Homo-oligomer: A and B are copies of this chain.
């Protein structure tokens, strides 16, 4: 089937970046504002975020976490306590220097992340092993003074969650780091229908102040990576810098071990760039604010009422387009918005007791009886969810390459975008060289190896690793 396009949206193969911002705008996900570098998340975009929040918040609570609210400002002296952390974030923070009419005695930054605020609090509330583990999460916005911004991907203000936990032992903290990484993987694969590669960041790419950073890497339609979530193991570095200690069971002072982990609205960018097509957005049913767009054609009120009543009972969200626009216009709009199913209820079909279901992912049409309609919708939603994941995985896998020699690596990266899997010596010099020669950065280490040689220097390999360009 030839892809029909939407005239307000650039086609992907002509200009993928433009296609992306067009979809964000035309599907009413975001709007630009007079505030440079900040975006407005419009109701439809925010509703997607609300659905993601509901899923994640439930998972966090099921794994024993509780929500808190920390201040959004960090006094300069507090920010300066952990050295690596400051160096990592100082170039991109916003400074508050005046309150009301007065210059502040101590300047403050707007939080770019809240490790130091949590540590400052943990120091006061952690006294005994009985206080551990402390499993905290915060839903909030953070600020990073980015120069170039793109909706959902890079913005001066970012909507996110940040988990911060403290543990009595290294092992427990590492277990938590990986547990939350898996919660993210579950969210992305089973709800957002995003196939992801999970692994460890290199020393160069890890979070400022962390001992180890783990990441969830998704590949966009154009073969470019988006880091969709990270989980960090801090060891006792921050805890020592902040003098956090607890009395163990033997009444001895020990330093606890720490984690933090976060995901942002950037995941919405992934959903757009993995599932979308030239007609607009395509949303996975499990996070779609509207699962069914009901489009009445002619006077079919009683059938609309009958079916929507059943949808309500099944808690399947829907939208009835009662505007005066033409059916064709309404179809296009339902496509732009990425509603998983379009239900056309027309007078002619009804003479045969039928209605038409159109699935957004494949655009296939199907006639079903009014009586079977809601059951068919339920089944179709499951199918669409599954198909989106399978389709994305197939496409991604077709863009994952392997290279064992540097000429091979240069050939692949010179010809196409995608991920390249190689062996690597673990040396940052090779990582830097690859970046310089190809603009590819390390995505993540997926394991250790005892065989083979580094794709770059040819020395003995230590790791298996993915490389890719990134947003």
| A interface residues with partner B (beta carbon < 8 Å) | 31, 33-36, 38-43, 46-47, 49-50, 66-75, 78, 90-101, 108, 110, 117, 120-121, 124-125, 130, 136, 140-141, 143, 145, 156-157, 159, 323
Q: By the criterion CB–CB under 8 Å, are A35 and B93 in contact?
A: no
A39 near B71 with CB under 8 A, answer yes
A140 to chain B, nearest CB (A): 8
- Chain B neighbourhood of A73, CB < 8 A: 35, 38, 94, 156-157
Which residue of chain B has its CB nearest to the CB of A324? B130
Q: How far is the CA of A28 from the CA of B39 in the complex (A)?
A: 36
Cβ 8 A contact of A68, one of B41, B136, B140: B41
Contact B70 A40 (CB under 8 A): yes
For the complex, what is the distance from the CA of A39 to the CA of B91, rounded to whole Å?
27
Smallest CB–CB gap between A66 and chain B, Å? Answer: 4
Q: Knowing A43-B66, A66-B47 touch, does A96 contact B95 (C-beta < 8 A)? A: yes
Which of B34, B66, B71, B78 is close to A120, meaning CB atoms less than 8 Å apart?
B34
A145 / chain B contacts, CB cutoff of 8 Å: 99-100
Return the contact of A93 from the options B46, B97, B100 (Cβ within 8 A): B100
Chain B residues whose CB sits within 8 angstroms of the CB of A94 once the complex forms: 73, 96, 98-99
Given A34-B75, A108-B35, A121-B33: A67 and B46 within 8 A (CB)?
yes
User: What are 17 A-B pairs with beta-carbon distances under 8 A?
Assistant: A33-B70, A34-B75, A38-B73, A39-B71, A40-B70, A40-B121, A42-B68, A43-B68, A43-B136, A69-B159, A71-B156, A72-B143, A72-B157, A92-B100, A95-B98, A97-B97, A130-B323
Taking CB atoms, residues of chain B closer than 8 Å to A35 are 71, 73-75, 78, 108, 117
* CB of A130, distance to nearest CB on chain B (Å): 8
Q: Which residues of B contact A130 (CB under 8 A)?
A: 323
